[in-house]
Amino acid sequence: MSLFIGFGSEIRLGRTAAGREGTARREGGGRPGGGREGVGDCTGTGTGRDAGGRTGGGREGGAGTGAGWDAEGGTGAGWDAGGRPALHTSVVSGLHTRARVLGHQGDLHGVELTLAPWAAYRLFGSPLGELADVLTDPADVLGRRARDLTAALEAAPGWAGRFAALDETLLRWAADVAPSREPSPAVLRAWELLNRTSGTVPVRELAARCGWSPRHLENRFREQIGLTPKRLARILRLNRAIRQLTAGGRPADVAAGCGFYDQSHLSREFTALTGMPPGRFLATRKEASAWLAG
């Protein structure tokens, strides 16, 4: 999960689905192709310290578009009431299961905080299932805390001051977490096992290791992670395949090693989750900037 606090420039959020890749537009001329397009691997498995640890940084420049993950349709998933891509200065991103195009003017400035889902569960104070497949304004999730944090970061004299203010804020938020907001140790173990095995452990085995029924495990994952173990495993398998294909792996070998039935199954998953087949996905991703490509 991630929290991006931007300073001034807007991010245009669009959807990519089969045959419906998003298009960036410059704010000034309003013409297509205002920047390069790119697709990144899933943003839904970010890292974070126990206190909510910052792993992102200040981002400046780099015109173009990139991708996170998006569900199909819905005004809460990056589209306004008129069906147009939504515009945000700052964004909270939950775990996503579909590709999304992000566009900006080329002068994006801000601080990005990448959180493990269980860390976001501690800090945000709401069930993470409510943020699944959603990109929204931080004030919708954090209320006044988001506005106060944005003001503090904007007022800081430089990036060192901004990061100091961010660390101070996160430590204060973490100190205020109620015991009831602590993630379950069983959920943390299951999360770690899913990540370590790239989603190849069966859900029933995962539940048995937790001492829970599969249904109870699903409910706790929705609350504290945002997605069910099955949906998360699907994303982790695809992410592993993306890494191996990007490194030059043969599609048939990658499919066999990442838990897919065959190469056709891998291709179907690519199209279902990113909106395009593997070859097109990887070619598009190479054209993106390093940050946007993920």
Q: What are the mean pLDDT values of the chain's consecutive 10-residue runs (294 residues total)? A: 81 52 28 29 33 35 30 38 64 80 70 89 88 87 91 90 92 88 92 93 93 95 94 92 91 92 92 86 67 40
pLDDT for residue 15: 53
pTM here is 0.70
pLDDT for residue 288: 55
Nearest-angstrom CA–CA distance, 253 and 259? 11
The DSSP result for 252-288, as a single string, is: HHHHHHTT-SSHHHHHHHHHHHHSS-HHHHHHHHHTS
Could you read off the pLDDT of 169-179 as tens digits, one per residue? Answer: 999 998 888 88
Could you read off the pLDDT of 262-283 as tens digits, one per residue? Answer: 999 999 998 888 888 888 888 8
Q: Tell how far CA 220 is from the center of its chain.
A: 20
Alpha carbon separation from 293 to 48, 62, 180, 287 (Å, rounded): 20, 12, 37, 8
Residue 1 · residue 53 · CB < 8 Å: no
Token pair listed for 164: 């100091």
Smallest CA-to-CA distance from 38 within 275, 294, 284 is with: 284
Give the 3-state secondary structure percentages of the chain, helix then strand then coil, rounded to 5.
45, 15, 40
User: Which residues, at least 6 apart from 204, have a Cβ–Cβ distance to it below 8 Å?
Assistant: 214
Nearest-angstrom CA–CA distance, 188 and 225? 9
pLDDT for residue 14: 58
Alpha carbon separation from 67 to 14, 31, 56, 154 (Å, rounded): 9, 20, 16, 26
Using only C-alpha atoms, the chain has a radius of gyration, in whole angstroms, of 19
pLDDT for residue 102: 66
Q: What does DSSP say about strands 91-93 and 58-59: parallel, antiparallel, or unpaired? A: unpaired
pLDDT for residue 71: 29
pLDDT for residue 188: 94
Burial (CB count within 10 angstroms: exposed 0-12, middle 13-18, buried 19+), residue 181: middle
